[in-house]
Chains A and B, each alone.
Chain A
């Protein structure tokens, strides 16, 4: 089977001083749930940004769904982001003057055309049908993150990339959000999460641990679960 994400010898050096990623190679297969774990500053978010075409590496290559991400122009990278990946951030990044529904429609707007009914269905699927017309400031952290999930999924991406998706949530909301991810995984979506959270790590098929920008020997998540 062809890997959906293929990273080869990926290196990111900030201003020639900080080595965030050091020759990282990784393969993620369709339908796989991979958790990238590691201490702060280990290069987790940098790795995720490279896969999402939000940043450029110093060297190495990034292939996603058969596309050489580094060879893409800025316009093609924008097209890649709206068609191939769904992004979830720790800080949610919802537009404060748009309602929950409109924040989901924003992703449609950049993809092709905003469709209110389709967006409403996506909001319904994350259990927020009663909160559609609320602004982000009127939603709890968990609800905001669920809006972000709906926004990330609305354009039916190949991969869901999440950076500390439960980092700002309490235990109850964390459980709700993880349940949604579990459902998406069962539906066959490929998930790659960056997390500190061992609980979310244990849900993944595989854990990739980063230390000082280098990948430590990979082990299946069930090994962690058994500890």
Chain B
């Protein structure tokens, strides 16, 4: 940058401090809203996907060829490669038993793990804690005539188990017809210590889910991983709608911010039309004069863009904190996008206005005074 270019650049910015601050604020405001919208678009989607996961599993692992899965193989699900892909899982063993002479499905589960992936279940009473406690589906309770606190016996072949009802379960699904007991209790009753019939897994939806299935298939060849299509598709549809909504909001914000910057920059350019006409009268070529004004717009765009990115990040974290009660992980892509938008909008709006003024003959402008 030559001495003269520097003098024009800084002299002009210093003299028009007020206008420059307004323009930078307009650019920063626009960039901050876009950065915040992009962060929320990414962050909310991820948060919502995780929230949705708490409403149920979307994957099930069942034995591929053998009748059971081995409990010790559960370590595969704890592998660090799957850490971000598995939000929670719950192993099960299912067996039919007789209660009061009637067939009923007994389900052995680890309640501490099950409760994490089935937070939407409605339980009247509480989760079982001891070995002889059971959670009974509402339909099963009606069928067996059992109420909260009742005791009953379950018989499997020659083994018998005495249980008390700690909770009545409503899920709207198959669980309402089942009796849930501790995994170890049922394994002992059925002489299947160390064996499982299925594992429910909660994993992020969308493309990631398919990738998780593929990874699981490779890591655990004896198990077959299947997606629970109904759940997965409902989640995908909801997330897709959310994405469309957030994209539209981002576009709307971008348009509003662009108009605001355009108004500020074109007013600034109009104020300086005599300056531009004079520069041309002194022999300045249109391109060179335009570059002088563009470099100022570039400077303001850079400053506004950086400030906007910082403010946008802060704004998205405040929104994340107030909506989800935790910080949103910032999308790193939003920063270059915010900066490019700040500079791009500033340059575009400024050059658009400058072009219109440069289209006038210098004499027309200079005659105006």
Contact = CB atoms under 8 A, between A and B. Distances in A.
B283 A110 contact: yes
Nearest to A90: B369
Nearest to A54: B363
Nearest to A83: B283
11 contacts: A55-B361, A78-B286, A79-B285, A81-B280, A82-B283, A95-B11, A102-B7, A106-B4, A107-B282, A111-B283, A114-B4
B296 to A, nearest CB: 12
A177 to B, nearest CB: 19
B361 A110 contact: no
A98 interface: yes
Given A96-B15, A97-B14, A102-B4, A110 B284 contact: yes
A113 B11 CA distance: 19
Nearest to B10: A97
Nearest to B288: A110
Contacts of B366: 54, 89, 91, 93
A56 interface: yes
Nearest to B13: A97
B361 A81 contact: no
A78 B284 CA distance: 6
Interface string A55-86: 11000000000000000001100111111000
5 closest A-B pairs by beta carbon, nearest first, are A82-B283, A97-B11, A55-B363, A97-B15, A49-B363
Chain A interface, DSSP helix/strand/loop, else mixed: helix
Contacts of A98: 7-8, 11
For A74, A80, A105, A109, the residue with the greatest tally of chain B CB atoms inside 10 Å of its CB is: A109
Contacts, number: 84
Interface in A20-51: 45-46, 49
B255 interface: no
Interface in B313-344: none
B299 interface: no
Interface of B: 2-5, 7-8, 11-12, 14-15, 274-275, 278-286, 288, 361-364, 366-367, 369
A87 B281 contact: yes
Interface residues of A, number: 34
B282 A82 contact: yes
Given A80-B283, A113-B2, 9 more contacts: A56-B361, A78-B284, A82-B283, A95-B278, A97-B15, A98-B8, A106-B4, A106-B279, A151-B282
A55 B367 CA distance: 11
Contacts of A78: 280, 283-286
A80 B284 CA distance: 10
Contacts of B11: 95, 97-98, 102
Contacts of A111: 283
A49 B282 CA distance: 13
A10 B363 CA distance: 17
Contact of A79 (B4, B278, B283): B283
For A54, A102, A151, A155, the residue with the greatest tally of chain B CB atoms inside 10 Å of its CB is: A54
Contact of A114 (B2, B279, B285): B2
